[in-house]
Amino acid sequence: MRKLLIFTSRRLESSEFDKYWDTPKSDIVFDGRLYFKAGDWDFDKIDNLITSKNFLVFLHQGTEGKTGDRDTHDKRFSYKVFYYSTLDPKLRKDDLWSWGNDLSEKFECDKPVLPFDLLCCALHENDPRKIEEAKTRIFEWYKKKEKKELDFNLYFKILKLCLTPKGAAQALPLYQKEDEIKSIINELSNVKQKYFLDDDHYVLKLEVLRKKMLDARIS
C-alpha cells in the first residue's frame, strides 16, 4: 500500500490545520505553515520524508484540484502529488471533504462519508483500523481522479489530431475501445485530405466526436 502524507495550507492566516484536522501529532497530516520557505513549499524538508517511490502527497495549493508528479531534490524517488484547495467547490461537493464553506467553523465528526472526513475522524479517535480504511479510500479516490485527468489529456490530443483526416488516421491507434467514438475517428480518417475543408459533414462529425468524448470523460 502507498504511504500517505498531507500538508495543510501554508498560509499563515490559514485555519485548516486547527479547525479541520485538529489532530494529535501524526505521521500523516502536517501543518503546511511549518513547511513554507521563501514564498514556496520547503521541498527539501518535505522530500526528507519521502523514503520510497510509493508515496502519495497531498499539498494544499492553488484554486483547482489537480494531479501531478514530483521528484525528490536528490532525484532518488518520484512520487504522486495531488494539489487540493478549499477554493475548489468540486472537491467539497460529495468528493474529497466537506469542510471549507465557513473556514472559521470547527469541523465536527458526525457520520463522516468523504475520504478526508473519514481520515480526520479516524485520527481524532486514534483508531488504527479506521485510519487504514480511510487511507484506502483516499488512494482509491486519487486513482479515479488521476484516470479522469489522463482520459481528458488523451481525448484532447485525439480531438486536435482529428482536425484533419491525416491526423484522424494517426489518432485511430490511440483509442483502444471498440465503440462509437472509434467509429467516428475512422470515418474522419477516410475523408479525402484535399476535400475535407469544404465538407460540412466533416465539421458536424467533429462536433459529435467532441460531445461523445466529453460524455465519456464525465461518466
119-160 pLDDT, tens digit each: 999 999 999 999 999 999 999 999 988 888 777 778 888 899
- Of the candidates 174, 168, 173, the one whose C-alpha atom is nearest the C-alpha of residue 151 is 174
CA distances from 111 to 47, 120, 121, 141 (A): 34, 12, 9, 19
Shared domain for 134 and 180, answered yes or no, is no
Residue 218 has pLDDT above 50, yes or no: no
Mean pLDDT of 82-94: 85
State residue 123's pLDDT score: 95
The answer to the question of residue 153 being in a domain is no
Shared domain for 104 and 188, answered yes or no, is no
Instruction: Pull the grid cell for residue 160.
Output: 486536435
Shared domain for 16 and 119, answered yes or no, is yes
Provide the whole-model pTM: 0.74
Shared domain for 28 and 116, answered yes or no, is yes
Average pLDDT, the chain: 88
The answer to the question of residue 172 being in a domain is yes
Shared domain for 47 and 106, answered yes or no, is yes
Query: Considering its fold, how many domains does the chain have in total?
Result: 2
Mean pLDDT of 21-50: 91
- CA–CA separation, 49 and 79 (whole Å): 11
The answer to the question of residue 154 being in a domain is no
Task: Give the residue numbers spanning the domain of 182.
Answer: 162-218
Shared domain for 189 and 86, answered yes or no, is no
Condensed to tens digits (0 to 9), the pLDDT of residues 157-184 reads: 889 999 999 999 999 898 877 788 889 9
Shared domain for 170 and 133, answered yes or no, is no
Of residues 217 and 11, more confidence is placed in 11
Shared domain for 9 and 71, answered yes or no, is yes
Q: Is 62 left (phi over 0), alpha (psi -120 to 50) or beta?
A: left
Condensed to tens digits (0 to 9), the pLDDT of residues 37-61 reads: 888 999 999 999 999 989 999 999 9
The answer to the question of residue 156 being in a domain is no
- CA–CA separation, 96 and 106 (whole Å): 17
State residue 217's pLDDT score: 58
